[in-house]
């Protein structure tokens, strides 16, 4: 096996060339988080550790490696990770304190998995769609456990209006053709969704083996780390732990393309679709969907303000340090 089996392509070769000149080798992060990683390299699976300078030079945790990343590492075992190669996409969520957390890098397709037993929650799906749009990753909605739902047709119609949708049951169907049609060989997909919706069950069905542990009880989080898995069809799939909080920091207008299109016809450009005259949205969009839109829009706007403020603080700090350094420099006589 080589890194080509893990999604390496000519586009990456180009991005990587400066690191190659520095004697570093490319590796893909297939597992792990802060501190200890599992890497796939041209000489197989190795353990990876962060080089001190990468850790200390990082302005935020977003700059550290995450599952799916391509990194430049020493050709040793354990390998020392020196750089994170510029990402093609980064899937993030906003945590409760307002910090953005990286969930997965270099994902081509996001499978947003919902369980049709008791997890079906359109407002939560709106959140996941916004995360995918914010990351610039193509979303595919996966409605799993159709065997436990008396009328999956209505939900399927509702979801299909938002993004390409697959209706699935791991006990009745083979997910390989259903999900495989959305991912080309060499591409990477990831499974997102609450705990217990069946993400690891889907992985095992695609692999036709019990590689991932499956939950016995729905309330516990069975998968605890992110793992990139190579499927027989030649594409890669990242199994994610279930997410409790799904804070949104952007992507809302794209996730609500229907509302956005109608809003262009409101009489006032700053219409809040809340009783204004000439509003084109309020009577055309279901009240729950409009409420979900408003809530996520407020949340994303708040996050933008918070990130702008913190970027401004960092900029000010940089200038202060530069200024202090300049003052210390000896004045040369001319
Ligand atoms: N009836 C039915 N049960 C399913 C289906 N898919 C998964 N399950 C069951 O749902 C439970 C949870 O499945 P997991 O695959 O562990 O769920 P997960 O999304 O990986 O959960 P976390 O790892 O905790 O995030 C298990 O008991 C599975 O057997 C399905 O299509 N139909
Ligand atoms: Mg799991
Ligand atoms: Zn309006």
* Pocket test residue of 117, 124, 128, 198 for ligand 1, highest count of atoms within 8 A of CB: 198
Ligand 3 center from residue 92 Cα (angstroms) = 30
Q: Which residues line ligand 1 (CB under 6 A)?
A: 144-145, 147-148, 169-171, 193, 195-201, 214-215, 221-223, 241-242
Residue 156 Cα to ligand 1 midpoint, Å, equals 19
User: Looking at residue 220, what is its pLDDT?
Assistant: 64
* Distance (Å, whole) CA 199 – CA 183: 17
Whether the Cβ atoms of residue 48 and residue 39 lie closer than 8 Å to each other: yes
Query: How far is the centre of ligand 1, averaged over its atoms, from the C-alpha of 195 (Å)?
Result: 8
Tokens of 333: 């006589």
In this model, does residue 184 exceed pLDDT 60?
A: yes
- Quickly state the pLDDT bin for 324 (edges 50, 70, 90): confident
Atom of ligand 1 nearest to the CA of 217: 27
Residue whose CA is at the smallest distance from ligand 1 atom 14: 198
Q: Which domains does the chain have, with CATH numbers?
A: 3-84 (2.40.50.140), 90-239 (3.40.50.300)
Q: Report pLDDT for 307.
A: 87
User: E strands within the chain?
Assistant: 25-33, 36-41, 44-50, 70-73, 79-84, 90-94, 100-105, 109-115, 138-144, 165-167, 188-192, 227-230, 236-239
- Entry pTM: 0.91
pLDDT tier at 219, thresholds 50, 70, 90: low
Q: Closest Cα partner for 40 from 30, 50, 49?
A: 30
DSSP 8-state symbol, 265: T
Interatomic CA distance for residues 201 and 157, integer angstroms: 24
Using the mean position of ligand 3's atoms as its centre, give its distance from the Cα of residue 250 in Å. 20
Query: What is residue 211's predicted lDDT score, i.e. its pLDDT?
Result: 66
Query: Among residues of the chain, what percentage have pLDDT more than 90?
Result: 74
In DSSP terms, 25 is beta-bridged to 73
Pick the residue whose CA is nearest to atom 26 on ligand 1: 215
Bridge partners for 29 per DSSP: 39
Look at 50-54, 104-108, 218-222, 232-236 and tell me which has the smallest mean pLDDT: 218-222
Ligand 1 probe mutation, 210, 215, 238, most atoms within 8 A of CB: 215
* Ligand 1 pocket test target in 115, 117, 170, 201 with most atoms within 8 Å of CB: 201
Instruction: State which residues have CB under 5 angstroms from ligand 2, the bound ion.
Output: 199-200, 222-223
pLDDT score of 147 more than 90: yes
C-alpha distances out from residue 231 to 39, 176, 254, Å? 17, 10, 31
Which ligand is closest to the CA of 276, given by its number?
Answer: 3
Query: Of all atoms in ligand 1, which is nearest to the CA of residue 195?
Result: 25
CB-based burial, 177-186: b 16+ in 10 Å, e otherwise: ebbbebbeee
Q: Which pLDDT score, from 0 to 100, does residue 144 have?
A: 97
Average pLDDT, the chain: 91
Beta pairing, strands 79-84 & 90-94: unpaired
- DSSP states of 171-224 as a string? TT--HHHHHHTT--TT-EEEEE--TTSSHHHHHHHHHTS--S---SSTTS----
Give the number of other CB atoms < 10 A from CB of residue 62: 16
Whether the Cβ atoms of residue 44 and residue 6 lie closer than 8 Å to each other = no
Ligand 3 center from residue 262 Cα (angstroms): 8
User: Ligand 1, atom 22: nearest CA belongs to which residue?
Assistant: 195
Eight-state DSSP code of residue 147: G
Checking if the pLDDT of 321 tops 90, the result is: no
Ligand 2 centroid to residue 158 C-alpha, Å: 26
CA proximity to 139, closest of 168, 119, 109: 109
């Amino acid at each position: 096996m080589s890194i080509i089996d893990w999604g390496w392509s000519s586009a990456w070769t180009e991005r990587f060339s400066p690191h190659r000149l520095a004697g570093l080798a490319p590796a893909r992060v297939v597992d792990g988080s802060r501190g200890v990683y599992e890497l796939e390299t041209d000489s197989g699976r190795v353990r990876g550790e962060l080089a001190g300078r990468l850790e200390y030079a990082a302005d935020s945790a977003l700059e550290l490696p995450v599952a799916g990343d391509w990194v430049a590492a020493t050709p040793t075992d354990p390998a020392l990770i020196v750089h994170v190669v510029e990402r093609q996409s980064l899937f993030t969520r906003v945590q409760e304190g307002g910090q953005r957390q990286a969930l997965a890098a270099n994902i081509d397709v996001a499978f947003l998995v919902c369980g049709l037993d008791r997890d079906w929650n359109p407002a939560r799906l709106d959140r996941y769609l916004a995360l995918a749009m914010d990351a610039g990753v193509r979303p595919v909605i996966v409605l799993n456990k159709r065997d436990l739902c008396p009328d999956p047709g209505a939900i399927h119609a509702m979801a299909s209006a938002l993004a390409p949708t697959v209706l699935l049951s791991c006990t009745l169907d083979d997910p390989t053709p259903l999900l495989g049609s959305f991912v080309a060989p060499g591409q990477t997909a990831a499974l997102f969704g609450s705990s217990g919706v069946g993400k690891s069950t889907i992985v095992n069905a695609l692999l036709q083996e019990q590689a991932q542990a499956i939950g016995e009880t729905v309330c516990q989080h069975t998968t605890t780390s992110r793992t990139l898995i190579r499927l027989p069809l030649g594409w890669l799939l990242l199994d994610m732990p279930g997410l409790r909080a799904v804070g949104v920091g952007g992507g809302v207008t794209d996730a609500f393309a229907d509302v956005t299109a109608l809003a262009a016809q409101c009489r006032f450009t700053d219409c809040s679709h809340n009783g204004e005259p000439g509003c084109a949205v309020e009577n055309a969009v279901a009240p729950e969907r409009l409420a979900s839109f408003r809530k996520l829009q407020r949340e994303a706007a708040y996050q933008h303000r918070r990130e702008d403020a913190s970027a401004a603080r960092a900029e000010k700090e940089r200038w202060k340090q530069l200024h202090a350094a300049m003052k210390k420099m000896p004045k040369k006589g001319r």
